[in-house]
Structure 1
Amino acid sequence: MGRAEDRRARQRGGHRAAPRGRRSSRAVSPSGPAGPTGPGRRRARPGKTGKTGIRRFFTWKKILGTFLGLCLLGIGGFILLYLLVPVPEGNAAATQQSNVYKYSDGKVLARDGEVNRELVDLANVPKGVQRTFVAAENKTFYQDNGVDLKGTARGVFNTLSGKGAQGGSTITQQYVKNYYLSQEQTVTRKLKELVISLKVDRQMSKDDILAGYINTSYYGRGAYGIQAAAQAYYRVDADELTVEQGAYLAALLQAPSQYDWAAASETGKKLVKYRWNYVLDNMVEEGWLNASERQDMTFPVPQAPQGAPGMEGQTGYLVDAANAELARQLVAQEAAENQEEALALVKRGGWTMTLNIDKKKQDELEQAAKDQLISKLDPEKRKVDGNIQPGAVSVDPKTGKVVAMYGGEDYVKHYRNNATRRDYQPASTFKPVILAAALEEAAETQDGEPITANTVYDGDSKHQVMDNGKKVGFAPPNEDDVDYGDVTVQTAMNKSINAVFAQMGVDVGMDNVMEVADQLGMDTEGMQAVPAQTLGSMGASPLEMAGIYATLDNHGKKVTPAILASAEHKDTVVELPDPVGEQVISREAADTVTSVLTGVVDDGTARKSVRENPARQGQQVAGKTGTSDFGRSAWFTGYTPDLVTSVGLFGEDAKTGGQVNMAGATGTLPGKGRVNGGGFPAQIWAAYTFGVMDEVTEFDLDTTQGAAVKPSYTPTTPTIEPTTESPTSEPPTSAPPTSESPTRTPTQTPSQTPTQTPTQTPTTEPPTSTPTDGTTPENPLFPNDDQ
């Protein structure tokens, strides 16, 4: 053995290399025979121990094998499913049925089941319009096999990751869902949709699939199919649609109700415009539209909607309200994915719905609106009269049933339901919510005095609202800029003094105010908790305000107004929630607000129309007037122990649908006066309420402040009348008002009332920055009601 080999042998522990081709049966080291601990025994390398524990079961080979096995099993299962699931007979057009709507006594109100659909051949739809739908929904439509696995997987991932329910459906899949299947959201239905889509794509041409899709889809306004949609939105046939109009209809399919231009919120309008642009940009990207043509296109605003035949008068409003409520329940019970799918499911027919509407009360409400308002309007002589839109809702506070609803003069003439619209400000009808929050939260003034009906506040116009000694930058004027000096909360409610409730809102904490508003039934989503909300600057509907006041009337137990009594479809009965819920504010807080609101009727802004009404016969009434900025809305929401009714008037331009002053650009009718809540709204309310009243009742109130609370502090009111300049007043004799709430504790008896009130109406125009609730000139249409 050479030296190199000898050296290597020594390095291996003294072993001498065995000759090639044979292996020594025993290795001998220079130090002796190799033993258990001898240098000749080869030691295991560190980390090379045997596989133990969980690693023995999860190797990469086993994981890969399991994965491949599952894939094969899934493929095999899908092949079996493909073989077993046939393409069913189409049911969308063949199984349409009527919906039957009944009054609470079982008498039929309406039948509405004839589907507004007219099938058209694809050849009668302009090529550019056809492509808008492909650009909007499925750019790969002409290349795919009917399904989009990537899109489906992406939709599932987005849904599971919390980005909202999202689908990856192709046009073929949506057509299959519309025509062959139901709208239910189940795994079984989705698997069937996938299989049937693959088969339909093989059996039908792309043009036939596209024609089926645009003819079976729901576009809103009761329109199924592109022909009905073209008529509903643009008053043209499908073959006359432009690319711009087609792009709007294609964009509309994503959310028909939200994107309907006539009913959409500002956000909804922005969203549909964004999607309209998205559709056209996709067409340019696909080479279906010239870029220069695209540049010249403008958004095609749809025409105002029209009511469906047979839905004249109040019928259409009631039917739509019932459909919307049923759709919300179907979504809540996961029978449909969203409101749009649920409405489509409802309008497919086969439903029997019994409404809570009491026919006698419904007729009385319609008659009251006609006698007190509609008969006095003459749009031909006074164009502004055509801008007045009334709406009202009447609720039983003990059951939550909507017993009557007035949506407008005629559903066919004015499609939108004024009773459920929430795009106008409730104005001063929000003030009771602020007081309810103060009482519920046991709030105190800036000086630590408990807020009650008798707490004294500075009622001067443009009083600087303070928060812990700091100005919050909010100083709203009172109606006509009148200074009231020191007043009690009761007087402030009676006279609807903005300055008092602005300060009270900050005292309570606007977060607390909005929380209580939400508990009482106001939809506060997206609302900012800022002092300006104390003026009722948010949007609300008569239905919503009726629910809030019904909760107060029901001693603080939540009332969610319900128009549906029952809904059945074949053998299925939809379970409806109880309209009366849990206690959301204390009984004492709710009852104290009620007691204060009796003063508004007996000694405040509603006294002329309600207190002095001969049909009242001693009936106790609580309520609040409200008039929004620029006379765009006027309200009276009032209640007896057994009935709550909210009446609103809304200024809507008869041509554009935009919000306008009901009395014209000047805010007054020539030589007559301004709009206010104690006029038409209170008159309609009184005529209806006292007309259906069976007996005279009194409130059963649990409050230490009693019913019809009288101010216990007598403020000294201004003696100098407002002028055309900024109104002035002599300071109260007791103490001058300051920029903070007065801290004086009332010392006089409840029987005493303010001894002086402003005696002259200012000649200036009403303030244009705040809701108005003050004195107005006598006016046959809008009479003096607010003082």
Structure 2
Amino acid sequence: MGRAEERRARQRGARRGGKSGRTGIRRFFTWKKMLGTFLGLCLLAMGAFAVIYMMVPVPAANAQAEMESNVYKYADGTVLARTGEVNREIIGLEELSEEVRHTFVAAENKSFYKDNGIDFKGTARGLLNTVSGKGKQGGSTITQQYVKNYYLNQDQTVSRKLKELVIALKVDREKSKDQILAGYINTSYYGRGAYGIQAAAQAYYGIDAGKLNVSQAAYLAALLQAPHQYDWAIASATGKKLVSDRWAYVLNNMVEMGKLDQSVRDAQKFPVPKTPKAAPGMEGQTGYLVEAANAELARQGVGEEDIKAGGWTITLNIDRARQQELVAAVDKELESGLDRKKDKKAATVQAGATSVDPRTGKVVALYGGVGATEHWLSNATRRDYQPASTFKPVVLAAALENGAKTQDGDPISLNSVYDGTSKRPVVGSDTPFNPENEDDRDYGKQITVQRATNQSVNSVYAQMIVDVGPGKTKKTALDLGMRDGDGWPERPAMSLGTMGASTWDMAGVYAGFAAHGKKVTPSIVASAEHRARKITLKDPVGGQVISRGTADTVTAAMQGVVKEGSGRRAAGAYAAAGKTGTSENNRSAWFVGYTPTLVTSVALFGEKPDGTGQVTLTDTINKGRANGGGVPARIWKAYTSEALGAADARERFDLEVEEPARGEPSTSPSDSGEPSPSRSERQREEEPTTPRPSNTTSRPPVTDPPASQSTRPTTRPSQSQSPTDGTGPGDPGGEPGNPAEPGNPNEQRPQFRPPGS
């Protein structure tokens, strides 16, 4: 072989060798080798997943998932307010019908009760779309969605998707399917600010979730795919078409699953939801009611942090109709005559009221002020003003309960005679005290307790508290439910109500009188329930704290106040008892009154517009001084006339007066023959700056009943009150004169005159 042939042979070999090398590469990627590689990668992935499974724990719930609102309801069950950062009320699955539960399974995960909690295909699709930037995609099981809502967040990241997968597997093993389903429907967002099915049912249909029918539930289940787009109230035509189709899809799936009969399915009509409404806020009286309820729960052992944590359903004793009637009464008799924006004096007037059913202790209505978002401090529960002469019935109760005697040694009764001289120094006290009667008026040296109550004569009650003892009087007040606060000085001045008290407190005290001497603690909370605990509330009506005879005698005395005393403006077509009060410097004016079935305490307070201190009510709602027998009594009457049903209006006091008054307790003016104020005298009292001629007439003294009669009065106080015609006595001795009081029909009226005055 020559060199040339050898070279050609080498070249041919090289070519054959090159072809042989390419064939070797192809052989390297044979199907067997590729399968082996794939299996190896799978094993590696499985190992990695096993490591991840062991390393990723089931975390604690995220902060938002357990947030709930507190739901406050009126006595009739309608929602008053929802509070909290998240509008959610977690409920148990047992509160929902089986059909309602299965609407969510049919909408999201028909195999829910059979799968192991994950959907690998859907998760892989979601991961791929996340990596490729295509955004959020569906395909997750109910378990995975629950994990995302309850344990994780809504971030669309690979790491979050992997965690979701691992945690879903673990949760499916640790929890029952029903627990997972309940968690899912309670944590999902339904639009309209509603988290969870209970809030959604209220937002879309105005009912509790337990009352949803299958058609409504199918709509809510359909919403979860696109809450905003599918909200019927704001959806486009396309959105409405899509949600209608999905609603039908849910129902059809239920038939396929055997959870709904075809005939029932065919009868379903699309349940158009209600127009959305703003969630009830704290405006108006709502904030005052919620604050009062929370304060009562705090007294029952539910702390502020417990309330903030949410999850409470709190039903109030507030009667929605009576609440509206109380607000209307204040608006009519006070607010309609005030211009708070332009009149600086008008802006200082604050009103508060509390209304209680004395038979149950329930607070049925409350007025806290012009609005909780404008004046947060509730005028119904504040205790920084004096109750003034509304405390005098407590002094009388203490005297009767303790068998106190006058300085002459006579047992105190409604017919006991006192010295009504203005500025008369009290006798028998280590603390000197000589209070002035209103307008420094003298009522003579012989005035009965009944008339002194009618006219609120300071000098009489100052001596009476000395006769019974300030300490014993204070004890009676505390027994009836008043609060000690910073401590009251046990001095004769107590008789004028110099301590602090709220309309709430005074309504409770007078409810005790109406309840024949039982202690009544006003209660605004009917029930407070939480899925984790339930509060057992105390009975608002307690035991006997003063005798029935004492309580009923005080009621008899206060009937005279309403019939022909300082509370005449409160009289109406119902039996009523009550007492007026006006504090020092005219900073507060009160009327606390009651019928056999309703006690209401009304007060006006003078407060600086910035809330930094107290000011006088003088020249605010009328010329001169304001008093309890004016606007407060008119508010009381306007409210009571509407709040009493026909049956309640016919109720009469059933009194067992412990020691009979000599004749009718409301007899005026004096049992000793003291002259009765004439019409002109009343006008002088009502318009002290415009003196008018006067004349007097005498009435015979009231005599004792025959000795053969029982200790019960032969004549009880009149049980039917009617509006005054202006012929009774004038304004009280202990109350500021009010030119708006009834009297001469031709008298000049004040500038302030709300409609209906």
TM-score under structure 1 normalisation?
0.55
Distance 1:715 1:89 in 2: 84
Q: Report if aligned partners of 1:626, 1:772 keep a CA contact under 8 Å in 2.
A: yes
1:781 is displaced (CA, Å) by: 6.7
Deviation string, structure 1 residues 425-471 (Cα, Å, up to 9, x no partner): 1001000000000110111011211000000000111011010xx67
Runs in 1 of length 4+ with deviation above 3 angstroms?
Answer: 86-94, 706-709, 717-724, 729-734, 744-753, 757-761, 770-784
Aligned to 1:649: 604
Q: 5 Å matches for 1:319-468? A: 319-330=290-301, 342-467=303-428
Distance 1:671 1:650 in 2: 14
Q: 1:532 to 1:408 in 2, by over 3 A?
A: same
Distance 2:86 2:607 in 1: 30
Q: Report if aligned partners of 1:495, 1:774 keep a CA contact under 8 Å in 2.
A: no
Q: 1:494 to 1:405 in 2, by over 3 A?
A: same
1:628 is displaced (CA, Å) by: 0.9
Work out whether 1:713 is the aligned partner of 2:671. Answer: yes
Q: Which amino acid aligns with 2:652?
A: E
1:366 is displaced (CA, Å) by: 1.1
Q: 1:349 to 1:503 in 2, by over 3 A?
A: same
Aligned to 1:683: 634
Aligned to 2:475: 515
Distance 1:590 1:408 in 2: 31
Q: Which amino acid aligns with 1:328?
A: R
Q: Report if aligned partners of 1:462, 1:476 keep a CA contact under 8 Å in 2.
A: yes
Uncovered stretches (5+) of structure 2, i.e. residues with no partner: 1-56, 88-278, 707-713, 719-726, 741-747
Q: Which amino acid aligns with 2:403?
A: A
Q: 1:697 to 1:91 in 2, by over 3 A?
A: same
Q: Report if aligned partners of 1:672, 1:779 keep a CA contact under 8 Å in 2.
A: no
Q: Which amino acid aligns with 1:368?
A: A
Q: Report if aligned partners of 1:465, 1:471 keep a CA contact under 8 Å in 2.
A: no
Distance 2:627 2:481 in 1: 25
1:548 is displaced (CA, Å) by: 0.2
Q: Report if aligned partners of 1:713, 1:747 keep a CA contact under 8 Å in 2.
A: no
1:107 is displaced (CA, Å) by: 1.1
Q: Which amino acid aligns with 1:698?
A: R
Distance 1:498 1:393 in 2: 26
Q: 1:781 to 1:346 in 2, by over 3 A?
A: farther
Distance 1:411 1:319 in 2: 10
Distance 1:643 1:594 in 2: 13
Distance 1:346 1:466 in 2: 53
Counterpart of 2:307 in 1: which secondary structure? helix
- Out of 652, 660, 670, the residue aligned to residue 698 of structure 1 is 652
Distance 1:476 1:758 in 2: 25
Work out whether 1:478 is the aligned partner of 2:478. Answer: no
Aligned to 2:125: none
Distance 1:732 1:511 in 2: 41
Q: Report if aligned partners of 1:625, 1:773 keep a CA contact under 8 Å in 2.
A: no
Q: Let me know the Cα RMSD of the aligned residues.
A: 3.7
Aligned to 2:153: none
Distance 2:421 2:696 in 1: 10
Aligned to 1:632: 587
Distance 2:403 2:63 in 1: 58
1:730 is displaced (CA, Å) by: 13
Counterpart of 2:395 in 1: which secondary structure? helix
- Out of 105, 109, 122, the residue aligned to residue 76 of structure 2 is 105
1:324 is displaced (CA, Å) by: 1.1
1:347 is displaced (CA, Å) by: 1.6
- Out of 585, 606, 615, the residue aligned to residue 567 of structure 2 is 606
Aligned to 2:28: none
1:705 is displaced (CA, Å) by: 2.8
Q: 5 Å matches for 1:55-74? A: none
1:370 is displaced (CA, Å) by: 1.0
Aligned to 1:563: 524
Distance 2:634 2:728 in 1: 25
Deviation string, structure 1 residues 703-747 (Cα, Å, up to 9, x no partner): 1537754257134259998999xxxx999999xxxxxxxxx9966
Counterpart of 2:345 in 1: which secondary structure? helix
Distance 2:621 2:644 in 1: 37
Q: 5 Å matches for 1:77-476? A: 89=60, 95-114=66-85, 310-330=281-301, 342-467=303-428, 472-476=431-435
1:631 is displaced (CA, Å) by: 1.6
Distance 1:624 1:531 in 2: 20
Counterpart of 2:66 in 1: which secondary structure? coil
Please tell me whether Structure 1 or Structure 2 has the larger radius of gyration of its CA atoms.
2
Deviation string, structure 1 residues 44-89 (Cα, Å, up to 9, x no partner): xxxxxxxxxxxxxxxxxxxxxxxxxxxxxxxxxxxxxxxxxx9995
Distance 2:417 2:752 in 1: 32
1:571 is displaced (CA, Å) by: 3.5
Q: Report if aligned partners of 1:356, 1:565 keep a CA contact under 8 Å in 2.
A: yes
Distance 1:781 1:327 in 2: 45
Aligned to 1:658: 613
Distance 2:337 2:496 in 1: 30
Counterpart of 1:466 in 2: which secondary structure? coil
Q: Report if aligned partners of 2:565, 2:730 keep a CA contact under 8 Å in 1.
A: no
Q: Which amino acid aligns with 2:409?
A: G
Deviation string, structure 1 residues 365-403 (Cα, Å, up to 9, x no partner): 111111111111112443211111111111000000001
Distance 2:610 2:305 in 1: 30
Q: 1:88 to 1:447 in 2, by over 3 A?
A: farther
Distance 1:698 1:589 in 2: 18
Q: 1:324 to 1:731 in 2, by over 3 A?
A: same
Aligned to 1:587: 548
- The percentage of aligned residue pairs carrying the same residue is 53
Counterpart of 1:443 in 2: which secondary structure? coil
Q: Which amino acid aligns with 2:585?
A: F
TM-score under structure 2 normalisation?
0.57
Deviation string, structure 1 residues 461-494 (Cα, Å, up to 9, x no partner): 1011010xx6741000001100011210000000
Q: Report if aligned partners of 1:425, 1:540 keep a CA contact under 8 Å in 2.
A: yes
Deviation string, structure 1 residues 147-201 (Cα, Å, up to 9, x no partner): xxxxxxxxxxxxxxxxxxxxxxxxxxxxxxxxxxxxxxxxxxxxxxxxxxxxxxx
Counterpart of 1:575 in 2: which secondary structure? coil
